[in-house]
Chains A and B, each alone.
Chain A
Amino acid sequence: MELSIDRLTKHYGHKIAVDRVSATLTPGVYGLLGANGAGKTTLMRMLCAILEPTSGEVRLNGKEVSAMGGAYRDVLGYLPQDFGYYPSYTAAEFLSYIAALKGIPREAAKRRVRELLEMLDLQSVSNKKIKTFSGGMKQRVGIAQSLLNNPQVLILDEPTSGLDPKERIRLRNLLSEYAADKIVLLSTHIVSDVEAIADEVLVMNAGQFIMHGTVPELAERVRGKVWELTVPREKARLWQAQVTVANYRHEGDQVALRILSDDKPSEQATPCEPILDDAYLYYFGAKEA
């Protein structure tokens, strides 16, 4: 299975939200990273055929998705960033409603709803109204609805927002397992989530993919540019003003700074093993990130 994006572009008047992005996605987890306004949501909406592109196309196994129509939506699961729900519905009712919209026959829908409620640890609250749920529980209902039709292409916009660390880990494991033979594309601001599960990372800025590769490949790009320096507390602020500081850790009267710099910032600085966070911060700058 292959989802290919070919020079996909979206203009809103004179504003270019997505600018000729191309990529080929095969089964696995893809992390979409980017600052706010980078074009992630617009790209995801075009991949879900909710938004018509200005130019370019999306193909699933060589077939253009706009021509596939319902057949494409049959294999698609989507969790929007701003997930809404009907307040009068219980979790089970809402999932049954979405299952009906997905055209799943009633009996099959009942079974699948039960399965998903159990998988996402919602079975004990399945008959409670969604409006009474916490943010994390609502988000889990959103994830459950995206999985109802056992989609081959799963697109999740900020799926980990609102989830506590335990729920995040549970979701990561679920997605890793799910992506064995399916395409999962998720966008997030939380670099550690992408680092933990993404087979490949697409970094977006100003509507374009500026980096694309595996987590070690992207981290490798900043090798030799990540330093650790321990300075007295009163000098830490001066360093922060001069260089990009990725991390700031108190160690007694001293402060250990993780610095991103092309050159060795000080004689005392020691090189560090780079991680994805460093690469993201290096290319986006502390302000944008």
Chain B
Amino acid sequence: MRDKVLEDVLRRSLGREPSPGRLEETIGLCAEIARKQAVRPQTRQSFWGFLSDVFHFEGIPLLLPQLAVLLAACLAAVSSHMGVYDLPMYMPLFILAVMPVFFRGQRYRVSEVEAATRTSGALLTLARLVLAGGSALVCLTFLLALEVWLQRSWENLGRVVIYCLVPYLTCMTAMLALIRRRRRDGAPLCLITALGSVAFWRCTARFLPWLYEASALGIWVAAVLIYAWLFAKEVTYIIQANKEAKMYGIVD
């Protein structure tokens, strides 16, 4: 009885009850808003947030093999006093080290699922590229520092940087081109390119020593410019594909 009195007092003090007609209208409006919100894209990760996620999932498989290559190159440099002409042959090995991560979607048949996501393959490749390139840069800096320390001279540093960049950019560009062209045999072709590259640079060091003389620097500069341009083209294509959310990468 008391409750009824209280209810009556509250009803009078709070004003009118909602009329059933207005209630229906409100429900209709809420349903309409919910329907519209349902197709509105949700808040998404920024690129840096995504990069941190990719690092979380793929950081170790990207970094560890590169560190192994760095260790091998350092040991070779320390034990045999490797000359500057021996450095280029180690550069394709850095690509070989990250290749399994770039092709793992295809290997484990996950690329189709990856391609149907917001990243559509392009953003994922871009993130892997940033991580692989960043770690390669750190490794290269360390290797160059070691070389300078062993030679006890800064004199050839500029040349050595170019000697390292040419094979690295060649192999990286080849790998990206294979992914862009969606070659199903992309992984074995990339492997052949990297191993062939190691053999080629080893041969130049042995049989074409003039290539590493100061007089041949023009050839290297031309090569670095050409491959930097080709590499930039590949990266631009990835960025464009990401902007337009176009399909990028190999799907079997």
25 contacts between A and B (CB under 8 A): A45-B112, A49-B247, A50-B115, A50-B116, A61-B39, A68-B245, A73-B116, A73-B117, A78-B116, A79-B113, A80-B112, A83-B109, A83-B113, A84-B109, A84-B110, A84-B111, A86-B104, A93-B57, A100-B53, A101-B118, A101-B124, A102-B119, A104-B44, A105-B43, A149-B42
**CB of A97 within 8 A of chain B?**
yes
Q: Is B49 an interface residue (CB 8 A)?
A: yes
- Other-chain residue from A1, A69, A87, A145 in contact with B113 (beta carbon distance below 8 A): A145
Assuming the A-B contacts A97-B57, A104-B42, are A84 and B108 also in contact, with contact meaning beta carbons closer than 8 angstroms in the complex? Answer: yes
Docked-complex contact B57 and A100, CB < 8 angstroms: yes
The residues of A that contact B110 with a CB separation of less than 8 Å are: 84-86
Say yes or no: A52 contacts B247, CB within 8 Å: yes
Do the beta carbons of B112 and A71 come within 8 Å of each other? no
**Complex: chain A residue closest to B61, CB-CB:** A88
Q: Is B202's CB within 8 Å of the partner chain A? A: no
- A98 near B117 (CB under 8 angstroms)? yes
What's the Cα separation between A195 and B118 when bound, in Å?
A: 33
Nearest-Cβ distance from residue A19 to partner chain B, whole angstroms? 22
A70 and B245 form a contact (CB under 8 A): yes
Complex CA–CA separation, A26 to B82 (angstroms): 68
Q: Is the CB of A152 within 8 A of B38?
A: yes
Nearest CB in chain B: distance from A6 CB, A: 20
Cross-chain contact A85 with B247 (CB below 8 angstroms): no
Query: Is B113's CB under 8 angstroms from A78's CB?
Result: yes
Other 17 A-B pairs with CB < 8 A, given A83-B113, A100-B54, A102-B118: A1-B39, A50-B251, A52-B247, A69-B243, A70-B120, A70-B245, A73-B116, A73-B118, A74-B44, A79-B113, A84-B109, A84-B113, A86-B108, A97-B53, A100-B56, A103-B118, A106-B49
Known: A86-B104, A104-B42, A105-B45. A50 touches B112 (CB 8 A): yes
| Contact (Cβ within 8 A) B104 A101 | no
CB-CB under 8 A from B53, the residues of chain A are: 97, 100, 106
> Residue A147 at the B interface, CB < 8 A?
no
Residues of B within 8 A of A68 (CB): 245
Q: Does A30 contact B (CB under 8 A)?
A: no
Chain B min CB distance to A52 (Å): 7
